[in-house]
Structure 1
Amino acid sequence: MNIAVAGGTGKVGRHVVSIARERGHTVKILARSEGVDLVTGRGLAGALEGVDTVIDVVSIQTLSAKASVEFFRATTTNLLQAAKAAGVRHYLALSIVGADKAAAGIYSGKLVQEELVSGGEVPWTILRATQFHEFAGQVLARSSVGPLAVVPRMTTQPIAAREVAVALVDAAEAGPQGRIPDLGGPRVEQLVDMVRTYARESGQRKLVVGATAPGRLWKAMRNGTLLPEAGAAVGRQTFREWLAALKQQQVHPKP
């Protein structure tokens, strides 16, 4: 199968690329580093010629609903138009668990993405997943001011990015299925605890403080609204297992 991975250099995208290639698929990466700007559409014309399936894992780090909506509306519209023109037979998008329950911040953009994909003319599949284990490090970096890190209070069920990638390649091989079961990790965690553990294990001396605020998104983060519902698929690797494996890779990097 000829697969194009939009966002193929990102946290989950690089795993999608490597897994798809390991399984014998031909993979094209759609990213700025490869001369394709999905926001403006530059370099996208003709890029999907001969492609059977598009796997869309593009992402943006923002808490702004406006920025998120603008980003996902632009990238998804450009990709869908190019996919239709090229005769792509399957459009597979990665979304976030709870996108329709906390339509604020980045979730607003993901909901727009889902609406565009499901309402488009290219046969589609949408997989919603929870936050990746890498989320702890990203939050620590964004929330730190000197020795202090102010972290949102959030109940989450984090999943290994590689396990999400496996599920995406499986779905690509299965063909268009519409909404498939959500995917979450094996354990419910508190984000504050995850960030504290990540900081300690990575040798960063930080005072990690939990915080909250009014609003729909903050409420959903606190009360478990963003957890997968019954019937969701469940990954295997816990956050602490992932962290241990990450430390092992750093101590003994692959040649």
Structure 2
Amino acid sequence: MKVVVAGGTGQTGRLLIEALRARGHEAVPAARSTGVDAFTGDGLDAALAGADVVVDVTNPVSREERATTEFFRVTSENLTAAEGRAGVRHHVVLSIVGLERGSELPYYRAKLAQEAAVRTGGVPYTIVRATQFFEFIPDVLIPANTDGDVVRLAPLRMQPIALSDLVGILVEIAESAPVDGTVEVAGPEVLLLDEAGRQLAAPGQRVTSDGRPYFGADIPVDALVADPSARLGTTTFAQWRAA
């Protein structure tokens, strides 16, 4: 099976390409560095020729709401249009758990626009809503909420997943029939944001849960937790840390 991975040279995309090839698939990364720009449409038709499935794990550089929304909407419209011309049978897009509950966040509103474009794109699809990766906590969350030696995190619960688990599930979904709907994916445990932060903070950092907004937005305490029907990874937080 030929699978084109839009955003296939990024963190998630590289691992997905490796996992697909390990399963015997022809996996093709589509990114500007490989001559494909899904936002402008350049190179899409050539890249999608003969493709069975497209998995979209693209992410914009900008975090400004208008630019991010435009990126997700136009990229999805270009991908599904090219897929229609190529006869692609399944469009898989990686999204985020809790978009409606967290819709005060500009990035979440942009992802909702992406999902809407996929639903109306005319190609059978599966929207994969995943929780945050474990790596999100030390790489993004802690730096963004650090003031001197104090890390101030919102009083929320989260259900993070190992990136390797997510990639494995994405491969299985790509191999399956489209559901024309949404599948949620999460880690096996629900954690308190500040407790996870304490375990990953740098020496000398003090982590507090002081009621501050989550990236500037007041969202429900369980906005980052998946529904009970979600597909779960197997790697626990302790196992990920040990590895």
Q: TM-score, normalised to structure 2's length?
A: 0.88
SS at match of 1:33: helix
The 5-angstrom pairing of residues 1-255 of structure 1 reads 1-60=1-60, 64-103=64-103, 104-137=105-138, 138-200=140-202, 204-211=203-210, 212-213=212-213, 217-220=217-220, 223-245=221-243
SS at match of 2:48: coil
Q: Go from structure 1 to structure 2 and tell me whether the alpha carbon gap of 1:35 and 1:214 turns closer, same or farther (over 3 Å shift).
A: closer
Taking the aligned partners of 1:89 and 1:109, their CA distance within structure 2 comes to: 25
Q: In the alignment, is the contact (CA less than 8 A) between 1:105 and 1:217 conserved in 2?
A: no
Q: Judge which range, 206-215 or 64-73, deviates more.
A: 206-215
Q: Distance in 2 between matches of 1:15 and 1:77?
A: 25
Q: Give secondary structure in 2 for the equivalent of 1:73.
A: helix
- Name the CA distance, whole Å, in 1 between partners of 2:32 and 2:122: 26
- CA distance in 1 between partners of 2:185 and 2:134 (Å): 13
- What's the offset of the Cα at 1:62? 6.7
Tell me by how many angstroms 1:145 deviates. 5.0
Distance of aligned partners of 1:25 and 1:181 in 2 relative to their CA distance in 1, 3 Å threshold: same
Distance 2:157 2:44 in 1: 38
Identity %: 38
Q: Helix, strand or coil: the match of 1:80? A: helix
Provide, for residues 93-126 of structure 1, a one-character-per-residue CA deviation record: whole Å limited to 9, x for no partner.
Answer: 1111112332232111111111111121111111
Structure 1 residues 75 and 105: CA distance shift in structure 2, 3 A = same
Q: How big is the shift at 1:216?
A: 9.6
Q: What is the identity, as a one-letter code, of the residue corresponding to 1:158?
A: P
d(CA) in 1 for partners of 2:209 and 2:7? Answer: 31
Offset at residue 34 of structure 1 (A): 1.8
Taking the aligned partners of 1:210 and 1:62, their CA distance within structure 2 comes to 28
C-alpha distance 145-43 of structure 1, shift in aligned 2 (>3 A): farther
Counterparts of 1:94 and 1:56, CA distance in 2: 6
| Cα drift, residue 76 of structure 1 | 1.1
Amino acid at match of 2:207: V
* Root mean square deviation, CA, Å: 2.4
Query: Structure 1: which 5+ residue stretches go unaligned?
Result: 246-255
Q: 2: distance between equivalents of 1:237 and 1:215?
A: 27
Residues 68 and 108, structure 1, Cα contact 8 Å, conserved in 2? no
Per the TM alignment, residue 230 of structure 1 is displaced from its structure 2 partner at its CA by 2.0
Pair 47,95 (structure 1): closer, same or farther in 2 beyond 3 Å: same
Can you give the 5+ residue segments of structure 2 that lack an aligned partner in the other structure?
A: none
Contact 2:125–2:178 at 8 Å: present in 1 too?
yes
What is the deviation of 1:180? 4.4
Query: Does the CA-based 8 Å contact 2:159-2:189 persist in structure 1?
Result: yes
Query: Would the aligned equivalents of 2:8 and 2:57 in 1 still touch at CA under 8 Å?
Result: yes
